[in-house]
């Protein structure tokens, strides 16, 4: 129960930071959050630890926990780096993936298809994480996988917002299928290119995310 409640608080605060409802430097008060989300203080404390771990909050001794919201420029810069890391993971996976790992990748993508049938963007996000985890594992480079996961955690609230844009989930699934095909056929350049495009904010996706954010530029 505590884990579910902590996740509820974490995702709620995470979204409010991503959409600008909670500004940079805002104090995250345990009592206020417990009342807002109708939970005890224990899951609130767990959620605050998760927020600190994800880089969205800072714990200051004897003062409390404060929002650490990235600027819109910082978000774009992180997405640029993320796209390169994802491309590298896919490129290496196209060279190194085993038959068993390829089957796991296809199974993970089937989970994304299920999420689309339920029209559940949060479920799609979770299954999408599974999909990318399969690629990280198959790339065979633990250091690269660790760094990619760390940045993915920093960006998870913004990636959730992207998935809520109309038509984004089916588009993402189509890109997954193209990535699987490139990895399965060993086309390292195509795997790299599609994976980078899959993550990078550009064109309509840039505008979709901008509409969800209220940062001053």
- Residues 32-38, mean pLDDT to the nearest whole number: 93
Indicate the range of 55-64, 139-148, 172-181, 184-193 predicted with least confidence: 55-64
Right CATH for 72-212 from 1.20.120.530, 1.10.238.10, 1.10.132.10, 1.10.240.10: 1.20.120.530
Q: Which band of pLDDT confidence, cut at 50, 70 and 90, is reported for residue 204? A: low
pLDDT band (50, 70, 90) for residue 211: low
pLDDT at 160: 84
Asked if pLDDT for residue 209 goes beyond 90, the answer is no
Which residue has better confidence, 132 or 53?
132
pLDDT score for 208: 62
State the CATH architecture for 2-67: Orthogonal Bundle (1.10)
Q: What is the pTM (predicted TM-score) of this model?
A: 0.81
Does 209 or 32 have the greater pLDDT score?
A: 32
CB 65 within 8 A of CB 28: yes
Task: Report which of 175, 202, 206 is spatially closest to residue 87, judged by C-alpha positions.
Answer: 175
**Mean of per-residue pLDDT scores for the chain:** 90
Helices 168-184 and 188-199 sit at what angle, rounded to 10 degrees? 160
What residues does each domain of the chain span? 2-67, 72-212
pLDDT value of position 50: 92
User: Dihedrals φ, ψ of 57, to 5°?
Assistant: -150, 160
Q: At what angle do helices 2-18 and 30-37 cross, to 10 degrees?
A: 100
72-212: same fold as 2-67?
Answer: no
Separation CA 90–CA 105 (nearest Å): 12
Which range scores top for mean pLDDT: 108-117, 157-166, 199-208? 108-117
């Amino acid at each position: 129960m505590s884990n579910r409640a902590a996740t509820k608080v974490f995702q709620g605060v995470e979204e409010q930071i991503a959409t600008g409802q909670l500004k940079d430097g805002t104090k995250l008060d345990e009592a206020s959050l417990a009342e807002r989300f109708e939970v005890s203080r224990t899951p609130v404390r767990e959620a605050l630890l998760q927020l600190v771990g994800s880089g969205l909050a800072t714990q200051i001794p004897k003062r409390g926990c404060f929002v650490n919201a990235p600027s819109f420029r910082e978000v774009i810069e992180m997405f640029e780096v993320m796209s390169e890391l994802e491309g590298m993971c896919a490129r290496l996976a196209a060279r190194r993936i085993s038959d068993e790992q390829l089957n796991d990748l296809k199974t993970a993508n089937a989970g994304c298809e299920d999420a689309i049938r339920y029209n559940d963007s949060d479920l799609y996000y979770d299954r999408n994480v599974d999909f990318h985890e399969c690629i990280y594992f198959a790339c065979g480079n633990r250091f690269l996988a660790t760094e990619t996961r760390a940045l993915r955690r920093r960006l998870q609230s913004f990636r959730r917002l992207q998935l809520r844009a109309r038509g984004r989930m089916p588009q993402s699934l189509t890109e997954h299928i193209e990535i699987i095909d490139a990895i399965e056929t060993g086309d390292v350049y195509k795997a790299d290119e599609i994976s980078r495009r899959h993550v990078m904010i550009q064109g309509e996706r840039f505008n979709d995310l901008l509409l969800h954010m209220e940062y001053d530029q």
